[in-house]
């Protein structure tokens, strides 16, 4: 009888140890996932901040122009693409800008009404999260 009780206790102990190991591994994965979510959120906030700065100043984001901001400890850089905000007729072309932070890259088009308005309309062309 005693060997059967010991066997049941051993099997129960092994099962509990296995469950405890699984729970610990899942908790570790949850912490890693939460850290990544936090990094993506900080980068996303920084890119949105920079996008608003570009929107409000039509001298930023012109062809060859690169501007950098730090928002909540995250650095974001926005660069005007070829043909962005260049003189055209009586005004300027709309600006197309790529903004990059450590975890997020976004591309925007700012409709500036030929240079008469600052980002009257903003069109988000792409949004990508780094692997």
Cα 131 to Cα 124: distance, rounded to the nearest angstrom = 21
Each of the 131 residues of the chain gets a pLDDT tens digit; together they read: 667 766 767 677 666 666 666 656 666 667 788 888 999 999 999 999 999 999 999 889 999 999 999 999 999 999 999 999 898 888 888 999 999 999 999 999 999 887 677 778 899 999 999 88
Q: Specify the 3-state DSSP secondary structure of 37.
A: helix
Q: Taking the CA of residue 52 as centre, how many other CA atoms within 13 Å lie in the half-sphere pointing to its CB?
A: 6
- Structure tokens of 104? 């997020």
Residue ranges covered by each domain of the chain:
2-129
User: And the tokens for 70?
Assistant: 């730090």
Q: What is the pTM of this model?
A: 0.75
């Amino acid at each position: 009888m005693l060997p059967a009780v010991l066997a049941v206790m051993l099997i129960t102990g092994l099962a509990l140890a296995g469950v405890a190991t699984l729970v610990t591994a899942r908790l570790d994965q949850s912490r890693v996932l939460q850290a990544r979510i936090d990094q993506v959120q900080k980068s996303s906030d920084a890119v949105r901040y920079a996008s608003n700065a570009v929107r409000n100043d039509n001298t930023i984001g012109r062809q060859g122009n690169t501007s950098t901001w730090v928002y909540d400890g995250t650095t974001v850089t926005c660069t005007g693409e070829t043909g962005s905000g260049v003189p055209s007729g009586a005004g300027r072309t709309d600006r197309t800008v790529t903004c990059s932070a450590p975890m997020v890259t976004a591309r925007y088009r700012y409709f500036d009404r030929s240079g008469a308005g600052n980002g009257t309309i903003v069109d988000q062309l792409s949004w990508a999260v780094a692997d």
